[in-house]
Amino acid sequence: MGIIGAPAIVDKRIYRGSTVGIHEAGARGAGLSVALLFGWATSLMLYPWAAAAQEPGSTGDPSDRSALPLDITPEGVAELLRSGAPFQLVDVDRQREPVALPAEARIIYYSSTPASGHARAAALRNRSERASQSSQRLMGTPVEWNRLKLPLAEPFDLNEPIALSPQILAQALRDGTDLLIVDVRGNAKGPDAVQPFADALALLPNQVATHSATFPKHAWVVVVDDGGIIAPQIARSLNGDGLSLVAYLQGGYVAWQTSADRDIPPGPHRPQP
């Protein structure tokens, strides 16, 4: 479960005004006092905007919570955590929407799968339905989230592959997620092979171990087989080889063919704006 911190406290800064030259000696002190008073009053008016400008991801207008950028980096969330600003992290794939939060609290959505588009949609929906609350999408990967010790709703086990439904994999491809599909179907290679995934790496199952050293260390690796039988085993072996972001297509290519929601644009894939 995410956490809700206490509101951040920002030190007030007094902007001192400057005086203009006053020829009369008797008026010099009075002019100085007026200038200082004016500077003090100006600082009080400017302070809320100055404080808001220091908040990570803020545009400087405290009245416009929807002006926060839609996306927030893992470092931005870590800064919120240090400052004590109220927020809650919500896993759109495994967690219910929070029922009640303080009006000033942020809801930051993330996905425990490569399909970050689910988190984006949730943040946009929240902005339209709850005008009094800001919402954002957490960028990055579980590797970065774990490194920064972000308070995720549920711990992400980097040593265990996750199963992806055809719909989740299709969404990840539509999102332009940085991933490598390792196609271990027996008929994935050869001149007559049908390859539904752009830029997929076609290997025989016994070839994966010899190529794993070339796989990306900080991007998702998704194993696809014919019927979902051997892909989980190969994915676990990749975890054992030191890869952290490993997944497999649940049900294999058979499930992909029969899925109703697997439309993906022809490669190469590009992320959504």
pLDDT, tens only, 138-178? 999 999 999 999 999 888 888 999 999 999 999 999 999 99
- Whether 127 and 189 share a structural domain: no
- Whether 243 and 140 share a structural domain: no
- Whether 174 and 146 share a structural domain: no
pLDDT at 188: 62
Output the six-digit token pair for 50.
Answer: 């100055």
Residue 11 in any domain: the answer is: yes
- Whether 72 and 204 share a structural domain: no
pLDDT at 260: 67
- Whether 169 and 206 share a structural domain: yes
Amino acid letter for position 207: Q
pLDDT at 95: 80
- Whether 117 and 177 share a structural domain: no
- Whether 57 and 178 share a structural domain: no
| Structure confidence by residue, pLDDT tens digits, 193-251 | 667 788 899 999 999 999 999 999 889 999 999 999 999 999 999 999 999 999 999 99
- Whether 146 and 231 share a structural domain: no
pLDDT at 154: 84
Q: Out of 54-68, 110-124, 149-163, 253-267, which region has the weakest mean confidence (pLDDT)?
A: 54-68
Residue 224 in any domain: the answer is: yes
Chosen domain end from 97, 131, 156: 156
| Structure confidence by residue, pLDDT tens digits, 69-122 | 999 999 999 999 999 999 999 999 888 877 677 777 889 999 989 999 989 999
Using pLDDT thresholds of 50, 70 and 90, give the confidence band for residue 191: low
Chosen domain end from 123, 156, 189: 156
Residue 269 in any domain: the answer is: no
- Whether 68 and 3 share a structural domain: yes
Residue 265 in any domain: the answer is: no
- Whether 181 and 106 share a structural domain: no
CATH of residue 211's domain is 3.40.250.10
- Whether 81 and 102 share a structural domain: yes
Using pLDDT thresholds of 50, 70 and 90, give the confidence band for residue 10: very low
| Rounded distance between C-alpha atoms, residue 223 and residue 233, angstroms | 10
Q: Is the peptide bond preceding residue 196 cis, with omega within 30 degrees of 0?
A: no
Residue 267 in any domain: the answer is: no
Number of folded domains in the chain?
2
Residue 266 in any domain: the answer is: no
Cα dihedral across residues 56, 61, 65, 71: positive or negative: negative
Chosen domain end from 156, 189, 212: 156
- Whether 24 and 133 share a structural domain: yes
Domain span at 32: 1-156
CA distances from 210 to 237, 241, 243, 246, 248 (A): 12, 11, 14, 17, 19
Q: Out of 60-64, 78-82, 252-256, which region has the weakest mean confidence (pLDDT)?
A: 60-64
